[in-house]
Amino acid sequence: MVLKGDTRWNQRRLESKIKGFVHHEIDIRDRTGILDLIDSLKPDAIAHAAAQPSHDRAAAIPFDDFDTNAVGTLNLLEATRKFAPETPFVHMSTNKVYGDAPNEIPMVELETRWDYADSTYQHGIPESFRIDQI
């Protein structure tokens, strides 16, 4: 039985598709555990996609949701700052944060990835970009 918000399918996909991908089973709210992990790994890159994934569930567990998303992110950032300051850190989020406006930007398919068709966005979407409807 798959639970709402279960992301194990994506973990298995990443493990099978990306050579060298390693998943670490740790609660990002565990400050000491995260500090120790980053200190021991000194990773080449960090892609932070860990979060409480269900927005419907978030309303039922607001403190757990905040601790996972905000405190967990702070733990990862601080561990990176202390033990791997040169490591690229990518924080991923959802349209629940940014709205659907970025989805309106035309994309072009390149040989190995998708990119924005408009060179205005070659370095990403600016913070001034609107987050909801016009």
29 and 61 together in one domain: yes
66 and 87 together in one domain: yes
Tokens read off for 100:
């659907």
Summarised one tens digit per residue, pLDDT across range 2-17 is 566 677 898 999 999 9
101 and 88 together in one domain: no
CA distance 41 to 83: 9
* Better-scored residue on pLDDT, 58 or 55: 58
Q: What is the span of the domain harbouring residue 133?
A: 97-134
CA distance 115 to 122: 8
Is residue 1, in this structure, part of any structural domain at all? no
The CA-based diameter of the chain, rounded to the nearest angstrom, is 47
Q: State mean pLDDT over 14-24.
A: 90
The total domain count for the chain is 2
Closest CA to 29 of 93, 72, 60: 72
32 and 80 together in one domain: yes
In this structure, what are the phi and psi dihedrals at residue 92, rounded to the nearest 5 degrees? -100, 150
* 3-state SS string for 8-36: HHHHHHHHHHCCCCCCCCCCCCCHHHHHH
112 and 84 together in one domain: no
Is residue 2, in this structure, part of any structural domain at all? no
89 and 109 together in one domain: no
Tokens read off for 4:
């709402």
Angle between helix 72-83 and 31-41 (nearest 10): 30
Is residue 51, in this structure, part of any structural domain at all? yes
Does the reported pTM lie above 0.85?
Answer: no
At 31 the pLDDT is 97
